[in-house]
Structure 1
Amino acid sequence: MLQLNISATAHAPNYLPQYYADAIGLFAERGLQVNATAKDPWTGVLDDLDSGAADVALGGLWVPAMYWNTPRELTVFAQVNHQFPKALVTRTPRSDFTWSELVGTTVLAPGIGGSAPYAFTAGLIREAGVDPASITFLRDLSSPMFIELFEAGLGDAIVLDLVNAEVLQHRGTGYIAEDYTETGGLGPNSVYYCRTDRFAELSERLVAFTAALQESMQLMKSVDLADLHPLLEQRWPNTPAAPLRKACARMLGSHTWDTARIDPAATARWLRILLDEKMIRQAPSFEALVDTTIVDHIGYPAATPAR
């Protein structure tokens, strides 16, 4: 049986299609054993690619984008998230929230796992015609630390993954004002990439892996949500079940798990946001950053048009 070692930046519910594919034997059916490890700190995924401990990294597209045209050559070949499954949580319910309400406020944006929560939020704010500089962002601390501080009174809003956003709602200490899967449009939030010099060597395994991932996404769209509950609770036993299930339902009802084919227009939008944040020096072309050979070989359905 072929082996594929994946080093991930987290062990996260938004990666559920990969875990589901493994749980129901879709990788094994294709003669593939997938070994996945979550790294702490997350930058260990790059060390694992360098050492050969991992064949593939799973994380944000912004990492290969930042390293584009540098000596570290990385090739992106598929995605597990077609949207950004995050939310803006405020202290009181806001049924008609607008981004302009944040002007003059303080927003907590956890960043110890990367800069994407802040960067994408800033992009949405700019797209709404508001200057992010008019808002004070506190960054670079972990989600648990910022959640504790938010619940103790720091800040006016906090950017969170959907699970933690639902946890705060469940406790009554925060309310989802913006669910990015509903209002944030499309974008390759979490992608798979490898060292460019290993892409050809890994192609057979990448085809098997990506075909199983796509089948998993299709099956999850038709499965009863209750059938996923045992896997959720097995994978995240220390997370309250009700918020975890609600977050999963939000992602299932969105475009988050529609396809592993990365959309060029959605990628261009994300790169524009990264460029606005000065996180990249120039935006590479889609073809320079993403190799569609694997998904083309499988015959993936076209991605949902970007909006």
Structure 2
Amino acid sequence: MKKLRLLLYASLVFVLILPLAACSNEPTEIRVAEVTRSIFYAPQYVALEKGFFEDEGISVDLKTTWGGDKTMTTLLSDGADVALVGSETSIYVKARGANDPVINFAQLTQTDGTFLVAREEQPDFKWEDLKGSTFLGQRKGGMPQMVGEYVLKQKGIDPHEDLNLIQNVEFANIPNAFASGTGDYVQLFEPTASVFEREGKGHIVASFGTESGHVPYTVFMAKQSYMNENKESIEKFTRALHKAQTWVQEHSAKEIAEVIQPYFEDSDLELIEIVVDRYKSQGSFATDPILDKEEWNNLKAIMDEAGELPEDVQHSTLVNTDIAKDVIKK
């Protein structure tokens, strides 16, 4: 009888422990809201397709929220755990007196991702050629527009005095507006810029990313409360991202294009390769997830020049580099 009781007890313990063991192997879900779907974010899609998140026990639920304001609203309302968006948005949130600030923890891109596209071919383009032209710019207060104005001013052009500057067109409608005849020049992301070249609708004459220097253009960020409660998950997420960044640096544009193609079904492989090569050649993809002070200060200088810096927020206030540094060290 005693042996029978021990056997029953052991069986009961096994039955109770088995589900707990199974649960412990379940991946941790992290809901990510990306500001747009872009080849500019190639390392993120590499991390997803190559299984780097899965290797870390992370399940990423990725959704595109189309715009900085919508992305940040999604994050603040707990519709996402992590946002992929420009660092300037975290400064705007801080300036509005948020009790739960948004912390930048892993950088994805380190230059502006837009290009200057002219309606006519200009093999001998000079920045001064813009004077007196109609320029179809980006949304006021957003990183593309602020970087665009910063570069123009560095080139001796006052965007509000020397240009007929158009800023009232919605982000998604800018390419169609230019294609329909609005503007002599336009500031466009890839792959639209290369598509326009293919179709003869415009010609890339300069890169804002090359001209503006390193800046935390697109960064993974989360609310401080989420960071505090999910430090291990954030570390795993960052480790997976760093693996992807290293993979991107070590592989060709063609190999990268082949991996990320499922995220761009409307673009052929050759076009994706062209865009990846352009971004990789100008150093747009961050080589590691660390957002350093120099980049942060460059961001603030660009925002200040555009009259959009609400307050001088220190790097240590809204940036956590400890996790990224630990990941690289390990």
1:128 maps onto 2:187 in alignment:
no
- Once residues 266 and 41 of structure 1 are traced to their aligned partners in structure 2, the CA distance between those partners, rounded to angstroms, is 22
- Once residues 144 and 30 of structure 1 are traced to their aligned partners in structure 2, the CA distance between those partners, rounded to angstroms, is 35
Greater shift, 40-49 or 61-70, is seen at 40-49
CA contact (8 A) 1:165 1:176 kept: yes
Counterpart for residue 86 of structure 2: 60
Partner of residue 115 from structure 1, selected from 142, 156, 167: 142
1:85 maps onto 2:85 in alignment:
no
Unaligned runs of 5+ residues in structure 2 are 1-26
CA contact (8 A) 1:261 1:300 kept: no
- Once residues 52 and 187 of structure 1 are traced to their aligned partners in structure 2, the CA distance between those partners, rounded to angstroms, is 27
- Once residues 308 and 38 of structure 2 are traced to their aligned partners in structure 1, the CA distance between those partners, rounded to angstroms, is 24
CA contact (8 A) 2:68 2:89 kept: no
1:265 maps onto 2:294 in alignment:
yes
1:74 maps onto 2:102 in alignment:
yes
Q: Tell me how far 1:143 sits from its aligned partner.
A: 4.6
Q: Tell me how far 1:226 sits from its aligned partner.
A: 2.5
Partner of residue 229 from structure 1, selected from 257, 264, 269: 257
Residue pairs, 1:1-307, within 5 angstroms: 1-40=27-66, 42-72=68-98, 73-111=101-139, 115-133=142-160, 134-257=162-285, 258-299=287-328
For 2:96, the aligned partner's letter is T
Partner SS state of residue 280, structure 1: coil
Task: Tell me: CA distance 1:40–1:125, structure 2 relative to 1, closer, same or farther (3 Å).
Answer: closer
Counterpart for residue 305 of structure 1: none
- Once residues 300 and 190 of structure 1 are traced to their aligned partners in structure 2, the CA distance between those partners, rounded to angstroms, is 23
- Once residues 200 and 218 of structure 1 are traced to their aligned partners in structure 2, the CA distance between those partners, rounded to angstroms, is 27
TM-score normalised per structure 2: 0.84
Q: Tell me how far 1:119 sits from its aligned partner.
A: 1.1
- Once residues 224 and 299 of structure 2 are traced to their aligned partners in structure 1, the CA distance between those partners, rounded to angstroms, is 22
For 2:156, the aligned partner's letter is G
- Once residues 117 and 286 of structure 1 are traced to their aligned partners in structure 2, the CA distance between those partners, rounded to angstroms, is 21
- Once residues 234 and 68 of structure 1 are traced to their aligned partners in structure 2, the CA distance between those partners, rounded to angstroms, is 36
Partner SS state of residue 37, structure 1: strand
Unaligned runs of 5+ residues in structure 1 are 302-307
CA contact (8 A) 2:95 2:311 kept: no
For 2:173, the aligned partner's letter is M
- Once residues 126 and 150 of structure 1 are traced to their aligned partners in structure 2, the CA distance between those partners, rounded to angstroms, is 23
Task: Tell me: CA distance 1:268–1:246, structure 2 relative to 1, closer, same or farther (3 Å).
Answer: same
Q: Tell me how far 1:68 sits from its aligned partner.
A: 2.2
- Once residues 164 and 30 of structure 1 are traced to their aligned partners in structure 2, the CA distance between those partners, rounded to angstroms, is 34
Greater shift, 194-203 or 228-237, is seen at 228-237
CA RMSD of aligned residues (A): 2.1
Identity %: 20
Q: Which has the larger radius of gyration?
A: 2
For 1:280, the aligned partner's letter is L
Counterpart for residue 3 of structure 2: none
Greater shift, 93-102 or 2-11, is seen at 93-102
The structure with the largest helix share of the pair is 2
- Once residues 283 and 36 of structure 2 are traced to their aligned partners in structure 1, the CA distance between those partners, rounded to angstroms, is 21
Task: Tell me: CA distance 1:180–1:269, structure 2 relative to 1, closer, same or farther (3 Å).
Answer: same
CA contact (8 A) 1:49 1:194 kept: yes
Greater shift, 169-178 or 46-55, is seen at 46-55
CA contact (8 A) 2:111 2:210 kept: no
